[in-house]
Amino acid sequence: MTDIHFGTDGWRAIIGEDFTADNLVRVIDASARVFKEDAVALGRAADSLGTIIIGHDCRQDAHAYAQLAAEVAATHGFTVKLTQDYCPTPTLCWSVAQDADAVGGIMLTSSHNPAKYLGVKLRMADGGAAGKEFTDRVEAAFSDKPTSARASYVEVDLMTPYLHTLKEAVDVEAIRNAGLRVVVDPLYGAGRIHLANLLREIGVEVCEINNACDPTFDGLHPEPIPPWVNRCLAKVPELGYDAGFINDGDADRIGAVDEHGNFVNPHRIITLITSHLAEDKGLSGRVVSTITASAMLARQCKRLGLELTSTPVGFKWIYAEMEKGDVMLGGEESGGIGIPGHVMERDGLLMALLLCETMAQRGMSLGQLMDDMFEKVGKLEFERQGLTITDEQMVNFRANTIPAYAPSEVCGKKVVDVDRRDGVKFYLEGDAWVMMRPSGTEPLVRIYAEAETVDEVHDLLDAAKAVILA
């Protein structure tokens, strides 16, 4: 049988290769066993174990696979609720958190991976991601052969109550009065139709692109970064609209476009939303971000008097901080931003609404908001690249570079601090930095750099490559 492992956030595989009905049955059967163990440990009766909610994205045959997952999970004595149709991951997470009887959730998605992939994300009773201890137990519970047992489930409407709560989270009157016009690009993913219609309901004029029912995604990778966002980059200035919003395949991430067709990366979105929550909405609490976050966010938090907590890469680390409490906002460089007061998970649809609210309440376009933010915290450029290397180079990188490489300067900039929690990050004078970290799933090293100019960023990336390949 296929060797199945959970990565940073779930199990993902190519449909028809390792993602098969048999392997899905093994994963769901084992997951339900562990959910059941925990339910019993909490004192739930064998005939009243609670509810598991199941959702799925827009991948090939995703609903049929989800129906199979529901039939298998139900054999363990749970009430199983299956989404009527595709839904974003944050919808599934919010639905679990709002259901007092729910012990967890199962989302069939492979997020930002190419169209040929499908996978499984496991969610806990609060809607947050299952931790490694939980998924290790699931892996240990895999059966060699898929069970043939099946039981009944019910299909439910997850979208209507979730979309209603999103509208309650923002100032609809201000948005309606602002006369905003935006392009929405779901990249053929699970935000398709839902975000565009929601924005229209609250008075925003919307042009939605890449929204057909097309499980091939027209060859695009559903990841809200260049080059996959290029259609949106062109469409916004072509129409003369105020902004564009792009979600990934399961709509828990966001990227944006200003009125000039400039990409607004997640670093800038997080930094802006932090200001909006604190200054416009009067919220407080810690801001949590991964180690790859922009120095602009640190400057923003200092300006606003907010505590900034840094974590290793992966939203599960942000979720762990949310569990501790006193968190206003958590965000990562890849575009996943979450507000624990809404749900303990990323939500790309909520972030689009908050950007609309910011534009409406401040009376500015997205580009004007960026210019205003740069005046207050300065402007920094960022880029991330992946460098594929040999096994020998990876061994050297892990054994020598990460623990021991300690230059006094990089590209003429003095090293002022070093962080080796997740790869190695060098903080440089002037708030520039460069970071190298090995991928957990591929034979490559991810390189990140931030500085005042694009040329400086490229110099830092080149310097990092030279070290890795040496």
| pLDDT, tens digit (0-9, with 9 covering 90-100), for 44-83 | 988 899 999 999 999 999 999 999 999 999 999 999 999 9
Statement: residue 441 has pLDDT above 80: no
Write the pLDDT tens digit of every residue in 379-411.
999 999 999 999 999 999 999 999 999 999 999
Residue 80 corresponds to which tokens in the numbers above?
């199983």
pLDDT more than 90, % of the chain: 95
d(CA 377, CA 310): 19
The three-state secondary structure class of 78 is: coil
d(CA 346, CA 94): 10
Do residues 158 and 53 touch, judged by C-beta distance below 8 A?
yes
Statement: residue 8 has pLDDT above 80: no
d(CA 256, CA 240): 15
The DSSP symbol for 217 reads G
Do residues 436 and 462 touch, judged by C-beta distance below 8 A?
no
Statement: residue 1 has pLDDT above 80: no
End-to-end Cα distance, the chain: 40
Residue 156 corresponds to which tokens in the numbers above?
């439910």
What's the gap between Cα 459 and its chain centre? Answer: 29
Write the pLDDT tens digit of every residue in 227-253.
999 999 999 999 999 999 999 999 999
Amino acid 446 reads R
C-alpha dist (Å) from residue 290 to 287, 361, 380? 10, 29, 17
d(CA 183, CA 199): 10
β-pair partners for 243: 182, 258
d(CA 303, CA 454): 25
Do residues 422 and 445 touch, judged by C-beta distance below 8 A?
no
d(CA 295, CA 431): 6
C-alpha dist (Å) from residue 398 to 45, 233, 277, 424, 468? 48, 38, 39, 10, 10
pTM of the model: 0.95
Helices (H), 151-252: 159-168, 172-178, 194-201, 230-239
d(CA 286, CA 331): 11
Q: Would you state the pLDDT for residue 442?
A: 73
Mean pLDDT (the chain, rounded) = 96
For tokens 């029912």, name the residue.
Answer: 213
Write the pLDDT tens digit of every residue in 263-293.
999 999 999 999 999 999 999 999 999 999 9
Quick one: average pLDDT of 96-103?
A: 98
Quick one: average pLDDT of 439-452?
A: 89
Q: Would you state the pLDDT for residue 378?
A: 97
Write the pLDDT tens digit of every residue in 303-332.
999 999 999 988 989 999 999 999 999 999
d(CA 448, CA 470): 18
* Among candidate residues 163, 317, 178, 322, the one with its CA nearest the CA of residue 251: 163
